[in-house]
């Protein structure tokens, strides 16, 4: 009888120890509407974030990156973000960014000028991503957007008058027609990218000796004659410095 009673007491004690009520003398107070405020804040941030979109240029694993405001009508203002980005080689490499530059005017080899609501004209900042097959362009663009946001919140936090911007990758917008790199970049910037993504183009002389020179010019400029004209117009020392 005594043994049975002791066994029962042990079982009862074990059961009480595993009971949530027994281990918590008082339950923590909970929100009446959990997550609502946080969720609303996140949704608002996503809705108002600047959009990062990419366009393919007919070269594998290479894309031009455009920065759009939330309403998708104006280019997003980047402030000093590009200069901080370029100064950090680890950020450039981790996001597969080969160059920050300005978008080319469709009618001339000059920067495109866009007018804002105040009537002021300004050039449009773009970037070029080249992954070399290490990852998908979309993955690099997503990391790029996150890094823009990080720099805006840290290095450039004093640049913004109306709140720190957030950037999000919103997809590829190449469409059915693929335009070459030379449709978006100034000629000298095209040569800079060309030297970054193709082998053995450290000097103008080496490039002119390449067997696949015409194929490269065609892929970058969309036309061999146009490409040759650009290369011939660049002094040797300038070509090496690009």
Residue 204 is predicted with a pLDDT of 95
What is the C-alpha separation between 227 and 187, in angstroms, rounded?
9
Q: Mean pLDDT lowest for which of 16-25, 65-74, 149-158, 165-174?
A: 16-25
Residue 191 has pLDDT above 50, yes or no: yes
Q: What does DSSP assign to residue 110?
A: S
Residue 47 is predicted with a pLDDT of 56
Residue (of 41, 65, 84) closest to 184 by Cα position? 65
Mean pLDDT of the chain: 85
Residue 116 has pLDDT above 80, yes or no: no
Residue 59 has pLDDT above 70, yes or no: yes
What are the boundaries of each domain within the chain? 50-241
HEC readout, 155-191: CCCCCCCCCCCCEEEEEECCCCCCCCHHHCECHHHHH
What is the C-alpha separation between 165 and 148, in angstroms, rounded?
9
Residue 10 is predicted with a pLDDT of 47
Residue pLDDT, tens place only, 6-52:
444 444 444 444 444 445 557 777 766 665 544 444 444 555 689 99
Residue 161 is predicted with a pLDDT of 81
Question: What does each C-alpha distance from 93 to 3, 87, 108, 135, 171 come to in angstroms?
Answer: 73, 11, 31, 12, 21
The pTM of this model reads 0.80
């Amino acid at each position: 009888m005594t043994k049975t009673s002791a066994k029962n007491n042990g079982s009862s004690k074990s059961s009480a120890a595993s009971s949530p009520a027994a281990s918590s003398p008082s339950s923590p107070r909970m929100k009446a509407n959990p997550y609502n405020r946080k969720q609303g804040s996140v949704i608002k941030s996503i809705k108002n974030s600047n959009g990062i979109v990419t366009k393919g240029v007919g070269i594998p694993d290479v894309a031009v990156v455009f920065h759009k405001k939330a309403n998708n009508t104006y280019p997003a203002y980047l402030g000093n973000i590009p200069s901080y980005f370029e100064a950090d080689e680890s950020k450039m490499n981790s996001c597969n960014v080969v160059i920050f530059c300005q978008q080319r005017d469709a009618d001339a080899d000059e920067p495109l000028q866009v007018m804002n609501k105040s009537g002021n004209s300004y050039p449009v900042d773009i970037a070029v991503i080249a992954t070399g097959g290490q990852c998908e362009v979309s993955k690099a663009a997503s990391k790029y957007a996150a890094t823009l946001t990080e720099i805006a919140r840290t290095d450039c936090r004093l640049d913004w008058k109306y709140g720190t911007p957030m950037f999000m990758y919103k997809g590829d917008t190449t469409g059915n027609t693929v335009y070459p790199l030379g449709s978006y970049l100034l000629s000298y910037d095209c040569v800079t990218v060309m030297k970054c993504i193709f082998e053995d183009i450290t000097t103008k002389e080496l490039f002119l000796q390449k067997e696949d020179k015409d194929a490269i010019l065609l892929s970058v400029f969309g036309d061999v004659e146009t490409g040759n004209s650009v290369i011939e117009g660049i002094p040797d020392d300038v070509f090496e410095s690009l």
